[in-house]
Amino acid sequence: MLMMCAVSFERYSRLYYFDPGPYLPKIGDKVLVPTDDGPEVAECVWAPHPVDDAIGGLPQLVGLATQADLDRDERSRRRRAEAKVATKRLVRAHDLPMKIIGIDYVEPRNRFTVFFSAEHRVDFRALVRDLAKTLAGRVELRQIGARDEARLQGGIGSCGRDLCCATFLKDFEPVSIRMAKDQDLPLNPLKISGACGRLMCCLKYEHPLYQEFKASAPALGQTVDSDEGAGVVVGYNVPADAVIVRLSETGRRCACSKASVCGSRTAYDTEHTGQSSV
């Protein structure tokens, strides 16, 4: 039986999924997970549980963290905190237009990776030299975009939940203003932009549902027969799989299931195009 558990490197940050192998960590236990730079300490967030065999191919836990692993992890955290303070101080000293987002540290290689954002290209060669002397290690600077900045910093979205990019999204997929239009959302940037200032990633989640609905629903302005009488389609309620109909007799609006009014659309398409859209 295939088992799966989830771990996190920081509290409330992105989850990573692993095959626990022979280990059975409990929630809150520290475990060792494989990374490109060797095993790293993470916290078990979901205890191992059975999953479908189709989810195979997950990387396997290295083991449970020992006290030596925890001590090494604590040293790395302390070094990252010290490096962040030193980096911000040197950025101000060099008067560079950049914002420090986060710092990663690999103890075995004594290597610091500094993530920063900036509106334009920054000449940070002098900064790297000073940082290498101050931190007594190798230093690499990486400029990241607005979406990656939000992912690393985390935060709360307009929905009241933790940012998707900081919790479960692995890749950033293209999002367009057309997706907001198709979902009849207000095109106010304040309403459809995320913490990064770009279009919200969640616009893509329900977009296929809206496309499928509008492909088979009666067009706006079309006359249909509903359970409450004949009327004209004036709107949609896609999550409820319903159309809004203004009744011809009374002018009242009512919500009707798409299935109850699609007969007229079928007849209309057959009459005018010779093909049925349903």
Q: CA angle 203-205-206, nearest 5°?
A: 85
Domains along the sequence of the chain with CATH:
3-65 (no CATH), 72-144 (3.30.300), 149-204 (no CATH), 217-273 (2.30.30)
Q: Is a pLDDT exceeding 70 seen at residue 271?
A: no
Tokens of 40: 């790293």
pLDDT at 136: 93
**pLDDT tens-digit readout, 56-81:** 789 999 999 999 999 999 999 999 99
**pLDDT tens-digit readout, 96-146:** 999 999 999 988 889 999 999 998 888 899 999 999 999 999 999 999 988
Name the residue among 63, 56, 66 with its Cα closest to residue 33. Answer: 63
Phi, psi (degrees; rounded to nearest 5) at 88: -65, -40
Q: Which residue is listed with tokens 């969640």?
A: 202
Rounded to whole angstroms, how far apart are CA atoms 77 and 146? 25
**pLDDT tens-digit readout, 11-32:** 667 788 999 999 999 999 999 9
Q: Is a pLDDT exceeding 70 seen at residue 269?
A: no
Q: What is the pTM of this model?
A: 0.70
**pLDDT tens-digit readout, 136-177:** 999 999 999 888 888 888 888 888 888 888 888 877 888 999
pLDDT at 40: 92
* Element counts in the chain: helices (H) and strands (E): 8, 12
Enclosing H/E stretch for 33 = strand 30-33
Enclosing H/E stretch for 225 = strand 223-226
